[in-house]
Amino acid sequence: GAPGEGFKLAMRTLDVFRTSVAAAALGFARRALQEGLAQAKARPMFGARLADLPLTQAKLADMACTVEASALLVYRAAWLRDQGRTITREAAMAKLMATEGAQRVIDAAVQLFGGRGVRRGEIVESLYREIR
C-alpha cells in the first residue's frame, strides 16, 4: 500500500481474522449445543429425562439463544464484508459475542454431562479445552 496506509491495511486484515475466529467459535458452540441436547434427552434424572426438567429446558433455551445471536452477528459481518463494506465494528461485535457465548454454551454442555463432561474422550471436554 501507499506510505502511511499500513495501519489501515492491518486493521482491515484484523477484521477478516476476527470474523473467522467468530465463525470457528460459533461452530464449537453449535456442536456443544447438539451434544448437550442429545445428552439431556438420554440422561435419566429423578425418574425422568434430564431434558424434561424445567431448569434444564431453560439452560438449553439460553444455549440456543446464544448460538443464534452469535450466528446472526457472524453472518452479518461476513455479508457486509462481501458487500465491500468496512466491518471493524461488526467484526469486533461478532468475535466478542461468539467467543464469549461459545465459552458459556460449552460450559453449560459440560454441566449437562455431569462428571462425564470432563472425561477425556468426550466431545464436550475437547470443545472445552479448545475454546479456552
Residues 7-42 have pLDDT tens digits of 877 877 898 999 999 999 999 999 999 999 999 999
pLDDT, tens digit, 9 for 90 and up, residues 29-79: 999 999 999 999 999 998 999 999 999 999 999 999 999 999 999 999 999
C-beta of residue 77 within 8 angstroms of C-beta of residue 94: yes
Whether residue 80 lies inside any domain: the answer is yes
What is the CATH number for 125? 1.20.140.10
Residue 1, domain member (yes or no): no
> Does residue 50 form part of some domain?
yes
> Is 55 contained in some domain?
yes
Domain extent at residue 23:
6-131
How much is the average pLDDT of 86-97? 97
In a domain, 14, yes or no: yes
Whether 128 and 107 have beta carbons less than 8 Å apart is answered as yes
12, part of any domain: yes
Whether 122 shows a pLDDT value over 70: the answer reads yes
Q: Domains in the chain: how many in total?
A: 1
